[in-house]
Amino acid sequence: MAKKPAVVVPLDGSEIALKALGAAQAVAKIMDAILHVVHVAEGKISEDRLLERLKIDRLEVGTCLLKQIAGNPVEAVLGFATDIRAKMIILSTHGWTYNRAHLLGATGTGILQGAAIPVLAVRPDMKKMPHPDWQPKKMLCPINGSLSAIAGMKEIFELAGSLGTSVDVLNVAVHGEKRPTGIGTMATSEYQDYPHRDIQAWAEEFIRRCCNSKPPSVETKMFQRAGDPVKAILAFSEEHKADLIALTWQGQLEPGRAKTVKGLLKVTELPVLVTKT
């Protein structure tokens, strides 16, 4: 009998961190996965005490497994996720303190950057906070056509398949940026001689490049917008009623990097799923 996949949600006992639990339960349900609730603290305590500390009702969380680990929170969570070969980490961007001026808490920053597996992040003040019965139907995936972004699409499509969503791929045309370079890059074509033919052809070629070995197994549509990427993505997500936003990235949050990831985490009302290329 095939082993069930695993997903992980780290909780530190704060109400803020707890906001991610609903999304985690929903994802576990959709993927038929075992949900591991991970708490990093020194000194072992009983399960009941742990539930109390984490503010979790056992009946509500059902068959999730509780895990208490000592050590550095980031290393502990990532290490555990690796050990159990988790498919995803779901977390709240912040823990004990939430200051909107800070994009992520220290633990959130560390896990997001360090994770080799997809991370689904929810901002604690999101209006559309996923609950345990959340069933996303549409995943919005912005992609700039660079090689690294294209390389990450395979995983995005697999995730969409696991979550049961369709995928809207969105390319945002930007003024002020150079086209991505590199052999095989798939930026927007500079030429649309006959748009009624070229746009469809470009979209098909784009999707084909994203799926190296077989067609995507989920319904996929290709769109284009122009302007500031974050604003364009947000506007599109509203217009097309996306349920979550998925991004490929290189996992670095230093100044000047990951502008779109940062921008979205700051303002979107949707969960953001990031995968590292």
Partner 1 sequence: MPERSNEESTTKREVSFPLIKKHLFKIIAFDWDGTAVKNRSVDASVVTETIEGLLKFDVLMVVVTGTNFQNIDRQFSRHIFGPHKQSLFVCANRGSEVFGFDERFRPVLLFRREATEDENRLLDKVAEATKEAIEHQSSATIEIVYDRLNRRKIDLIPEWQNPQKSEIGKLESAVQDRLRKAGFKKGLKGAFGLAVDDAKKLGLTDARITSDVKHIEVGLTDKSDSIRWITTNLTKKRNIPFTDILILGDEFGPMAGFEGSDYRMYTAEEPGISYISVGKEPNGVPPGVNHVGGGPDYFVRLMGEQLGVHRKFSLTEEPSFLLVEKGFNPLREREIESLFTVSNGYLGTRGSLEEERYQSDPATLIAGVYCKRNQDLGEEFAVAPEWLFTEVYVDDKPLSLTDGKILEHKITLDMRKGLVHRRWRHQDESGRVTLLTFLRFASLADPHAACLKINIVPENYTGRIYVRTGLRFTNKSRRSFESLRMDARDHPNLVWVAGKAAGTGVTVVEAQATTVPEGFVAPEHLAKNEKSAVFDEWTWRVNMGQRLEIHKFVALFTSRETARPEDKARRHARHLADKGFDVMLLEHAQEWDERWANAYLVIDSDTRTQRWLNFAIYHLISAGNPSDEKVSISARSLTGTVYEGHIFWDTEIYILPFFSLTFPDVARAALMYRYHTLPEARRKAQKMGFKGALYAWESASTGEEMTPEVIVTSNGKILPVGSGKLEHHISAAVARGVWLYWTTSRDTHFMLEAGAEIIFETARFWASRVTKRNGRYHIEHVEGPDEYHEDVNDDFYTNVMAAWNLERASELDAHLLQTHPGKLVALRDKIGLDDSEPEQWRNISANIYADMTRQDGVVEQFEGYFKLEDIDVRDYEPRTAPLDVLLGHERAQTSQVVKQGDVVMALYLLEDRFREEIIRNSFEYYDRRTGHGSSLSPSIYGLVAARLGLENAAWKYFEKTAQIDLADNMGNAAGGVHIAALGGLWQQVVLGFGGVRVADKGVYIHPKLPHELKRLDFSLLWRGIRLHFKVIRGEKIDIIARGKGGLKVGIFGKSLQPIIPGKHYVALWKHNAWSKFK
Whole-number Å distance between alpha carbons of 115 and 89:
8
* Interface pick for partner 1 out of 24, 33, 77, 187 (rule CB under 8 A): 187
Contact mark string toward partner 1, 40..79, x via CB under 8 A = ----------------------------------------
Closest CA to 246 of 180, 178, 126, 156: 156
Name the residue with tokens 């969503």: 165
SS3 (DSSP) at 68: strand
**Can residue 32 be called a binding residue for partner 1 (CB under 8 A)?**
no
Query: Distance between CA 160 and CA 140 in Å, rounded?
Result: 10
Residues of span 156-185 touching partner 1 by CB under 8 A: 171, 173-185
Give the residue from 259, 267, 258, 269 showing the smallest Cα distance to 113. Answer: 258
Site for partner 1 in 231-270 (CB under 8 A): 240
| Other C-beta atoms lying within 10 Å of the C-beta of residue 96 | 12
Among candidate residues 117, 38, 100, 24, the one with its CA nearest the CA of residue 72: 38
Write each residue from 110 to 149 as x if it is in contact with partner 1 (CB under 8 A), else as -, in one continuous string: ----------------------------------xx-x--
Instruction: Report the residue from 72, 82, 135, 192 that binds partner 1 according to the rule CB under 8 A.
Output: 192
Closer CB to partner 1, 159 or 172, in the complex: 172
Q: Which residues bind partner 1 (CB under 8 A)?
A: 144-145, 147, 150, 171, 173-203, 205-206, 208-209, 212-214, 222-227, 240
